[in-house]
Amino acid sequence: MFGLGTQELLIILVLVMVIFGAGKLPQVGGALGKGIRNFKSGLKEEPLEEAQRVDDSAEKKV
């Protein structure tokens, strides 16, 4: 996983806890999860559908 070992992950976790505090950690994790989920769904969306929507809206304006 990106060449990160256990020690590196623990150091990152401690830094995140110091920066955000233990109380904000669940909120930060939730926001990160939502961001990753939106990114993945955006990648799965077919570009042809988007192009078709743009063409349909252009035809309506004319």
Phi-psi region of 21 (alpha: psi -120 to 50; beta: other; left: phi over 0): left
Residue 26 belongs to a domain: no
Residue 28 belongs to a domain: no
Q: How many domains does the chain have?
A: 1
Q: What is the CA radius of gyration of the chain?
A: 20
State pTM to two decimals. Answer: 0.48
Handedness of CA 30, 36, 38, 44 (dihedral sign): negative
Domain enclosing residue 61, as ranges:
34-62
Contacts (Cβ under 8 Å, ≥6 apart) of 20: 28
Say if CB 25 and CB 16 are below 8 A apart. yes
Question: Would you state the structure tokens that stand for residue 7, as one six-digit string?
Answer: 């020690």
Question: Residue 22: is its pLDDT beyond 90?
Answer: no
pLDDT digits (tens, 9 = 90+) for 27-57: 888 998 999 999 888 888 766 555 566 556 6
